[in-house]
Amino acid sequence: MRINRQDGTVQILDYDPAENRKKIAEAKRAYYDAHKYCPKCGNKNHGQTYMACIFHLGEPFADENRFDCSCGHSGIVDELVAGL
């Protein structure tokens, strides 16, 4: 995103909300693909809390919702792994 402050106006030159939403959706998908399975047993069927996590492009993101796996392991979504 660039901002032009010439002649006293603030103009966002190359900000496309649809493109931005797409990038966020892609980044979120990549994050959740990498945080899918229980790190102990590799199971995907775990209960989760669904607190909203705000995602900003280019900033570190960690989903801190809790999960409880059927193997007895529990933690936060950020600890889940892409696979064992």
Q: Rounded distance, CA 64 to CA 49, Å?
A: 9
> Does residue 69 touch Zn ion according to CB under 5 A?
yes
> Does residue 76 touch Zn ion according to CB under 5 A?
no
Using CB under 5 A as the binding criterion, the count of chain residues that bind Zn ion stands at 7
> Does residue 80 touch Zn ion according to CB under 5 A?
no
Paired with 48 in beta bridges are 67
Q: Rounded distance, CA 29 to CA 59, Å?
A: 15
Q: Give the interface segment with Zn ion, choosing from 9-17, 18-26, 31-39, 50-58 (CB under 5 A).
A: 31-39
Q: Is-contact 62 35, C-beta < 8 A? A: no
> Does residue 41 touch Zn ion according to CB under 5 A?
yes
For Zn ion, the closer CB: 69 or 77: 69
Q: Rounded distance, CA 61 to CA 58, Å?
A: 9
> Does residue 38 touch Zn ion according to CB under 5 A?
yes
Write the single-letter amino acid at 42.
G
- Smallest distance, Å, CB 69 to Zn ion? 3
